[in-house]
Amino acid sequence: MTDCVECGAEVSLHDNLEVGEIIDCTTCGAELEVIDVEPPELDKAPELEEDWGE
């Protein structure tokens, strides 16, 4: 369990967390990026300002 950096609510995390993965906060809907896994640390995911490949 760790806290959402946007709203402070607890975010439940699954087991095989991967750095770079994006997690949605179920409380506020913010997109959070996993920046560390041990211990899990989340940050607000940056917006992608240009279009994606596919």
Partner 1 sequence: MKVGLLYSRIRKDEKLLLEELRERDHDVVKIDVRKQRFSIREPPEAFEGVDVVLDRCLATSRSRYATQFCEAYDIPIVNSAETAEICADKVKNSLALEKAGIPTPNTEVAFTKDAAMQIIESFGYPCVLKPVIGSWGRLMAKIDSKSAAEAILEHKATLGHYEHKVFYVQEFVEKPGRDIRVLAVDGDPVGAMVRSSDHWLTNAAKGAETDSFELDEEATSLVEQASDAVGGGLLGVDLMETGVDENGDPEGYTVHEVNHTVEFKALNDATDVDVTGEVVDWLEAQVEAEVTV
Interface residue list for Zn ion (CB under 5 A): 4, 6-7, 9, 25, 27-28, 30
Judged by CB under 8 A, how many residues of this single chain contact partner 1?
15
Q: Which does 12 bind (CB under 5 to 8 A by kind): partner 1, Zn ion, none?
A: none
At closest approach, how far in Å is the CB of 20 from partner 1? 4
In sequence order, what are the residues at sequence separation of 6 or more whose Cβ sits closer than 8 angstroms to the Cβ of residue 5?
30, 32, 42, 43, 44
β-strand partners of 10: 3
Q: Which of 1, 15, 39, 52 binds partner 1 (CB under 8 A)?
A: 52
Peptide linkage before 39 cis (omega within 30 of 0): yes
